[in-house]
Amino acid sequence: MRLIVAITCVVACAVGAAPVRAKGQPAAVAALERQEKPSSAAIPLWPEGVPGAIKDAGPETLDEGLVRNVHEPSLTPYLPPPGRANGTAVIICPGGGYTVLAIEKEGAAVAKWLNTLGISAFVLKYRLKEYGHPAPLRDVLRAVRLLRSEAPRGGIQADRIGVIGFSAGGHLAASAATLFDAPEGRTGAELDRVSARPDFAILVYPVIVLSGPYAHAGSRRALLGEAPAPALVDALSLDARVTKDTPPAFLVHGGTDTAVPPENSTLFYLALRRSGVPAELHAYERGIHGFGLQPDHGPVSGWPNRCAEWMAAKGLLEGR
Amino acid sequence: MRVAFLLLCITVMAGSGALLEGQGGPQAAIPLWPEGVPGAISGAGPEVVESGGRISNVHEPSLTPYLAPAGSGPATAVIVCPGGGYNRLAADHEGRAVAEWLNSIGVSAFVLKYRLREYGHPAPLRDVLRAVRLLRSGHDRWGIAPDRIGVLGFSAGGHLAASAGTLFGEADGRTGAPLDAVSARPDFMVLVYPVIRLIAPHAHTGSGRSLLGANATAERLEQYSLDTRVTRDTPPAFLVHGGTDTAVPPENSVVFYLALRRAGVPAELHLYREGAHGIGLRPGNGPMSDWPKRCAEWMMARGLVRPGEA
């Protein structure tokens, strides 16, 4: 904690162009909230320069809610109305098979829901197949480090920073939860000294395994290429990477998910149990891949309530 | 089904002088074996009711009906199997209370009193399968639908309910009675912190001992570890388990769920972070206390509960 406070000044200067703003401009923020827009401009993750940046990569695109060709990873803040923030923050990892980002239905919509719970939400724009591993991992870990370092200024509790991810974004969120100390997640930046371990993980129809009958081949290809070394595939099949230091997790999956079968969530749950990590899993009979926050999928559409109950029981929705 | 209708008359005449049409509250218990309990132990001493309504030393297995208020058309029926490690029956908080909840969502409930360690296998299995057969054959009598007869069990009662869902065709479950001709396959299962495994990993060894004896072979314990018995004919299941259950770890539910998935059987699994063994319907156990709502939603989505009653 001492370290974090010390680093805060450095970080604040480094990302001063667009720091996390929870206080200081309430009127403007409130106005934006009512319009269901981000609370401020996207915060670049790598103000010192994106590590491994591809030159002349062409522009990022946004088409029908899907972002493609990400080269400037960022966090877009969505903050609760003034006075409603409870100090918990969640980094949102939209899905899209490491090929695109479903930035609206698994991003902005999720942020707005989290805001209703008093949670400060940050939609992560992470790099995709144009880079492959370890770029997405670096991005999500940098996001945790950045928020944690900024926490005292942003009205966020440094020990209440979670990740939520959908599908391949669930793989990335689970990567943060298991690989937060991985050397490839560091870049030599000052912020490497801040813990990248999320305090909790919410995994929604997550991709967990990259080999075997339950693997999501598309995510593997986008992340690791056409013919990855088996050892690398195993290293990113995340049930195998759970330890007692993995944070508590909430998982939800639908039984009619043919893209990413629910065994992905089950295997992760069992791994958490073996390591003694508290976990909750709701595997609904019905629920196709990508239900997001849509209300018309039967009982599985109640998952945000189950998730809120889990967070409330963990004390994540109480102010301090 | 034709057989069922014929048998109905026999059954009603033979065993149910005490049966009364009506609604609300328990009716008189229906003896499962009016022709005589198969394998009955003579001079066995009386049934014992312990503190908290727990029953032990069961020798006269029965079903206690709690009929739902009359609705439009036949009701869904659920046979409730209380837990108690095959040593006793938690007949109140995992029996009566559950029946009353089921009635509140328009479902008729039948609390099963099944035989325990004094008999061991196959007596409990015979009792639960007989209960399914009896209800299915006599469905008109109770205003229930013969194709919507489920089993709901807690802990060792969950093992028994899952046994009904996997072993309904077993020769062990038949006694030579005419009712053997009626299908004993439940149409759905609700398993609450169920015992599934009787041998490592994740075993509840006490249930294994009471059911199969202290000297059961590993092979036999594996045979009645019910994840190994799932087929594509196993009925759909709803499972719920708490993460702080140290008596019967939630892996029991997980391995059963995974077996159902492998067999292509629809299943739903709710594993709560917290939830000790034996909470039944008691409130105050955090999110897990809402499992009856999750179950009602599942039943409604399957057409087992009418909208508005969940």
Q: What residues of A are in contact with residue B249 (Cβ under 8 Å)?
A: 273
Q: Determine, yes or no, domain membership for B43.
A: no
Q: Per-residue confidence at A23, pLDDT binned at 50, 70, 90?
A: very low
Reference A77, options A12, A16, A33; nearest CA is: A33
Q: Determine, yes or no, domain membership for B34.
A: no
What backbone phi and psi angles, to 5 degrees, belong to A90?
-135, 130
Q: Determine, yes or no, domain membership for B50.
A: no
**Residues A269, B271: C-beta atoms closer than 8 Å:** yes
> Average of pLDDT values for B194-219?
97
Q: What residues of B are in contact with residue A316 (Cβ under 8 Å)?
A: none
Q: Per-residue confidence at A9, pLDDT binned at 50, 70, 90?
A: very low
Task: Choose between A14 and B198: higher pLDDT.
Answer: B198
B190-201: burial string, b at 16+ Cβ within 10 Å, e else: bbbbbbbbbbee
Q: Determine, yes or no, domain membership for B33.
A: no
Choose among A250, A278, A298: nearest Cβ to B301. A298
Identify the structural domains of chain A with CATH numbers, from first to last: 2-8+44-50+58-313 (3.40.50.1820)
The CA-CA-CA angle for residues A271, A257, B192, to 5°, reads 60
Q: What residues of B are in contact with residue A270 (Cβ under 8 Å)?
A: 251, 254
% of chain A exceeding 70 in pLDDT: 89
Domain count along chain B: 1
* Residue in chain B lying closest to A281 (CA): B271
**Residues B270, A283: C-beta atoms closer than 8 Å:** yes
For residue B11, what pLDDT is reported?
41
Q: Determine, yes or no, domain membership for B187.
A: yes
What backbone phi and psi angles, to 5 degrees, belong to A281?
-135, 130
Q: What are the residue ranges of helices labelled H in A109-185?
A: 109-116, 135-154, 168-179
- What's the CA gap between A121 and A110, in Å, rounded? 8
> Which residues span the domain enclosing B64?
2-15+59-301
Reference A238, options A261, A280, A267, A281; nearest CA is: A267
Give tens-digit pLDDT for B138-166.
999 999 999 999 999 999 999 999 999 99
Give tens-digit pLDDT for B88-105.
999 999 999 999 999 999
A246: pLDDT strictly greater than 90: yes
Count how many residues are written for chain B: 310
Reference B249, options B193, B176, B169; nearest CA is: B193
Structure token digits, residue B166:
């996997």
**Alpha-carbon distance values, A319 to A85, A123, A186, A258, B8 (Å):** 7, 22, 32, 40, 63
- What's the CA gap between B197 and B257, in Å, rounded? 13
Q: What residues of A are in contact with residue B201 (Cβ under 8 Å)?
A: none
B200: pLDDT strictly greater than 60: yes
From chain A residues 271-290, the ones with a CB under 8 A of any chain B CB are: 273, 278-286
A118: pLDDT strictly greater than 90: yes
**Residues A283, B294: C-beta atoms closer than 8 Å:** no
Structure token digits, residue A257:
């998910």
A291: pLDDT strictly greater than 80: yes
Q: Are A100 and A61 a contacting pair, CB within 8 Å?
A: no
- What's the CA gap between A132 and A114, in Å, rounded? 29
Q: Per-residue confidence at A21, pLDDT binned at 50, 70, 90?
A: very low
From chain B residues 210-229, the ones with a CB under 8 A of any chain A CB are: none
Q: What residues of A are in contact with residue B261 (Cβ under 8 Å)?
A: 255, 261-263
Average the pLDDT over each of A184-188, B44-48, B155-159 and give the range with the smallest value. B44-48
pTM score of the predicted model: 0.91
Count A/B contacts: CB-CB distance under 8 Å: 74
**Residues A281, B271: C-beta atoms closer than 8 Å:** yes
- What's the CA gap between B202 and B255, in Å, rounded? 10
For residue A46, what pLDDT is reported?
98
Q: Determine, yes or no, domain membership for B37.
A: no
B10: pLDDT strictly greater than 80: no
> Average of pLDDT values for B28-43?
95
Q: Report the Cα–Cα distance between both ends of chain A, in Å, rounded.
A: 17
Q: Determine, yes or no, domain membership for B22.
A: no
- What's the CA gap between A213 and A261, in Å, rounded? 9
Q: What residues of B are in contact with residue A299 (Cβ under 8 Å)?
A: 268, 294, 297-298, 301
For residue B310, what pLDDT is reported?
63
* Residue in chain A lying closest to B270 (CA): A282
**Residues B297, A283: C-beta atoms closer than 8 Å:** no
- What's the CA gap between B295 and B310, in Å, rounded? 9
* Residue in chain B lying closest to A284 (CA): B268
Q: What is the CATH number of the domain that holds B192?
A: 3.40.50.1820
- What's the CA gap between B287 and A313, in Å, rounded? 8
- What's the CA gap between A126 and A140, in Å, rounded? 7
Residue B235 touches chain A, beta carbons under 8 Å:
no
Q: Which residues have a Cβ under 8 Å from the Cβ of A29 and sit 6 or more positions away?
A: A21, A39, A40, A79, A81, A82
Give tens-digit pLDDT for A40-81.
899 999 999 999 999 988 999 999 999 999 999 999 999 999
Q: Determine, yes or no, domain membership for B111.
A: yes
